[in-house]
Chains A and B, each alone.
Chain A
């Protein structure tokens, strides 16, 4: 077990940039991102691990950042929605009405990024297992389902080309 002091200086790599900062050990990664770094694209929907709006990639793995302490992330690479630019999933969510209010979108896309890396081929069971951890209240999931299919197609074509 690690015993932390009242403030720990940690080094993180966030969206390919290294950053050093002192954090209280009780601070969640979600609050670090939103409140200390202004990366408000990571949304706070429940702070209980239930809604998935705060999903980011920690060492490539999707995590609910409200459930992770910032100090646990020392030395690791974190990717947030702000680190994703012109990704096929972002284009596909736009083209297929994969969002409406947009509040779940950052977390949904970040989870889907990892999903498509792990499952590049269509796989309904995997999609269901992964994306059930992200709640969307607007779309009835049709647009998200279509966006996922479109991004997969586009990424497969890119790999083929």
Chain B
């Protein structure tokens, strides 16, 4: 094993003082005096025709500078992969909370007061409450113009229906296996697993400050994970050239995918264009952030698994129906990512999977931590549990027996190389942490039941084949280093990881490396987007190349001064010196801005290292079979929980949780652990309480943080984290992504544990006390009915 100087240490976060001292300025902390305030009117209907909007009274209200509706921008359609969304509803609303009108006023109070003067006539329409309802024969088509929408080629909508994207995986001959399975003595499991959509609940609501300068340039400061993506998509949506747009991303107060892609920026920009020279602020209230801005998709899945009696998996047949809500946004690629990973981390020779992104009248969905893999994992892990039950096998053993290994192929036919993580080692680590062999179910003296559950996961970044990153390295007079990238600080701590990579490469104290924590598309090196857990990997590779370039320049300048060939020189410890005579050298401070001889002559000039990286060997997926190589790398792991259930009322406590993940080299152990723990905590919320609740007309009834419950202090379990470190061959110092992965296995692990405790297979989320209690009662009634 390699030994490192900086990698594997855990220096304090560079942003600690600003974050614990309250001096860090998020986007909405940068409002200038004189900024116009925008306020949004949200639809009270999930599906309705807009027959009239009377804006006259609102326009006359004090302080109001403008009132806008969908009719103001008849041509504009926004979309990341599929341009299906007007900035404000036009003619109809398709979800509860959809922006209908916006008021711009001198101050927020005036804008909010004027909202109440808007008179909108709605004519309610029947609603589509689920993907299966939206796919049923005769269902209303929510996007009749689907065929005309601009889209990327990888997305395959089906005009005339509510299918925004369908991805097919065909590997081997699953139909033939299922046709003969039972005759051949195989066991077949069939199940349906589902959950409703929900929200990211980043603590910082989305915020945008937009200004159209008198020089014709549009400046957009946004709480975004994708400053460069916003620039590109704004250019497309507004018909402006990229050169006339600058996007700035301050550190973001939590992203989780919900601030990737394009969000409030187009509406804010359109407003700014109406008021040249004046900044316009468009910041979500919490309610708008939950309802109007996108959340995460829901899922309906129909799964069949065939296995030999010894547990060896033979075939998978599955339909994944993603509930994308009213617009496609990222969800069309979420459904595609789930297809690419559809077997979970298991060897399955025969696969038939259709993964659909389906329009409904729910709040629309975008990227969410796990990006299709959390939804998929819930379906496949539940299927594995039901199969284990049919086989009479330990569910952990069934997983271990089928764990995918180097040399196996993914559902898309891509082969797994030596960098592939060690899933069996992860399963074993989780079993040890949870004392798996001591038994997975026990009844306590007080009648409560304790049970354990274990699930596996894998994830590859779902990214364009040409996803890239760039970095520059420059120096100050004191020899310290400044790294610039296009990576946004969203809490994940990638900048601290990058700092260690650079420090390692320069054999330098990490305290002498500074990473710029703001992104400005005019100034920062280009970067695809801060998503897909690929920033440390890709910006890391770019940063290492930038260091290489910088040290080349340093050696070149030093070679002249030290009168030696540049290849005889090494950079380290803040010096450049002869490899074979380290005493002979110079401090970096003496030459990073150019070396000055005693007589005043100078050579060199400021060192600036440039680095870039682009994904290698990726390809798209064949529309008929899915064949291709969409995955940059695969991070694998296992997760487990121990819960305590009160069978009298269905109340649940999570006592212990464990995650073992093969992340390659662990760059910053404390931050790596923190990422995984945080993701697991989020997974507990996802599985046990979080989801939108709808009334009979698909209006959300829990649209505030009072009713939409996330995990609170004291509900957190003990967390056990183990890292396996199979190096990623092409990762920076062998590292790969880990930011999202910790959430993926939690719903499956919790569903297994709670099902074991309850004595009934629970096939829906969230696992609320009411749902558990009802399921137990139904099972009991059924048993008693049979007796």
Q: How far is the CA of A101 from the CA of B711 in the complex (A)?
A: 16
Instruction: Check B23–A100 contact: CB distance below 8 A.
Output: no
- Tell me whether chain A's interface is mostly helix, strand or loop, or mixed: loop
Whether the Cβ atoms of B704 and A100 lie closer than 8 Å is: no
The minimal Cβ–Cβ distance linking B668 to chain A, given in whole angstroms, is 10
Assuming A102-B253, A127-B713, is B706 touching A139 (CB within 8 A)?
no
B194 shortest CB reach to chain A, Å: 25
A137 near B254: Cβ-Cβ < 8 Å: yes
For the complex, give the distance between the alpha carbons of A93 and B17 in Å.
10
A142 interfacial contact with B, CB 8 Å? yes
* CB neighbours of A136 from chain B (8 A): 203, 713
Contact A48 B254, beta carbon cutoff 8 Å: no
Assuming the contacts A44-B28, A97-B670, asked whether A140 and B711 have C-beta atoms less than 8 A apart, the reply is yes
Q: Please, which residues of chain A bring their CB within 8 A of the CB of B175?
A: none
A53 to chain B, nearest CB (A): 6
Bitwise interface map of A from 66 to 78 toward B, beta carbon under 8 Å scored 1, else 0? 0000000000000
Beta-carbon contact of A50 and B704 below 8 Å: yes
Q: Which of A111-161 contact B (CB under 8 A)?
A: 124, 127-128, 131-132, 134-145
Q: Number of contact residues on B: which range applies?
A: 35 or more
Chain B hits for A98, CB < 8 A: 20
Contacts of B109 in A (CB 8 A): 26
Determine the chain A residues whose CB is within 8 A of the CB of B712 once the complex forms.
Answer: 131-132, 135, 141
Partner of B20, one of A94, A128, A132: A94
Assess whether A47 is interfacial by the CB under 8 Å rule.
yes
Partner pick for B286 among A48, A105, A124, A145, CB 8 A cutoff? A48
- A48/B713 in contact, CB under 8 A: no
Let me know if A140 and B490 touch, CB within 8 A.
Answer: no
In the complex where A43-B253, A47-B286, A132-B714 touch, is A94 in contact with B12 (Cβ < 8 A)? yes
Dominant secondary structure of chain B at its interface with chain A: loop
| CB of B24 within 8 Å of the partner chain | yes
Indicate the member of B201, B253, B493 with the most A CB atoms within 10 Å. B253
C-alpha spacing A48/B285, complex, angstroms: 10
Chain A CB within 8 A of B682 CB: yes
Scan B478-517; emit 1 where CB is below 8 A from any A CB, else 0.
0000000000001111000000000000000000000000
Query: How far apart are A108's CB and chain B's nearest CB, in angstroms?
Result: 9
Encoded as 1 (CB less than 8 Å from any B CB) or 0, chain A from 25 to 51 comes to 010000000110001111111111011
Tell me the residues in window 6-35 of chain A with beta carbons closer than 8 Å to chain B beta carbons.
Answer: 26, 34-35
Tell me whether B769 is interfacial, beta carbon within 8 Å: no
Q: Chain B residues near A63: list those with CB within 8 A.
A: none
B21 touches A132 (CB 8 A): no
In the complex the two chains form, is A135's CB within 8 Å of B705's CB?
yes
Q: Flag whether B26 is at the interface (Cβ < 8 A).
A: yes
Pair B491/A141 contact, Cβ less than 8 Å: no
With A131-B714, A143-B674 as contacts: A103 and B20 at CB distance below 8 Å: no
Contact B201 A137 (CB under 8 A): yes
Distance (whole angstroms) from the CB of A140 to the closest CB of chain B: 2
In-complex Cβ contact of B716 among A82, A103, A106, A145 (8 A) = A145
Q: How far is the CA of A49 from the CA of B694 in the complex (A)?
A: 23
> Which residue of A is nearest B718, CB measured?
A142
The distance in angstroms between the C-alpha atoms of A94 and B496, with both chains bound, is: 13
Using known A-B contacts A45-B203, A100-B492, determine if residue A128 contacts B705 with beta carbons closer than 8 Å.
no
Given A97-B674, A137-B256, A140-B682, CB of A103 within 8 Å of CB of B713: no
Q: Which of B28, B202, B671, B715 contacts A101 (CB 8 A)?
A: B202
Q: CB < 8 Å: which of B29, B253, B713 contacts A141?
A: B713
B710's partner among A39, A44, A90, A137 (CB-CB below 8 A) is: A137
Contact A104 B203, beta carbon cutoff 8 Å:
yes
- Docked CA distance A94–B491 (Å): 13
What is the CB-to-nearest-CB distance from A85 to chain B, in angstroms, rounded to a whole number? 7
Q: Which residues from chain A contact B31 at a C-beta distance below 8 Å?
A: 35
The reply to whether B28 and A51 form a contact with Cβ atoms under 8 Å apart is no
A80 within 8 A of B: yes
Known: A40-B25, A46-B286, A135-B710. A105 touches B678 (CB 8 A): no
Residues of A within 8 A of B26 (CB): 40, 43, 103
* Residues in chain A near residue B255, CB distance under 8 A: 101
List 9 additional contacts besides A40-B26, A94-B20; criterion CB under 8 Å. Answer: A40-B22, A50-B705, A53-B203, A100-B678, A101-B252, A101-B490, A141-B715, A143-B674, A145-B713
A residues near B (Cβ < 8 Å) are 26, 34-35, 39-48, 50-51, 53, 80-82, 84-85, 90, 93-95, 97-106, 109, 124, 127-128, 131-132, 134-145
B contact set with A: CB distance below 8 Å: 12-13, 15-26, 28-29, 31, 109, 200-205, 251-256, 285-286, 490-493, 670-671, 673-675, 677-682, 684, 704-706, 710-716, 719
Please name 14 pairs of A and B residues whose Cβ atoms are closer than 8 Å in the assembled complex, sorted by A. Answer: A40-B25, A43-B203, A43-B253, A48-B704, A90-B20, A102-B15, A105-B19, A134-B713, A137-B203, A137-B254, A138-B678, A140-B719, A141-B714, A145-B716
The 3 closest A-B pairs by CB, nearest first: A41-B22, A140-B681, A101-B491
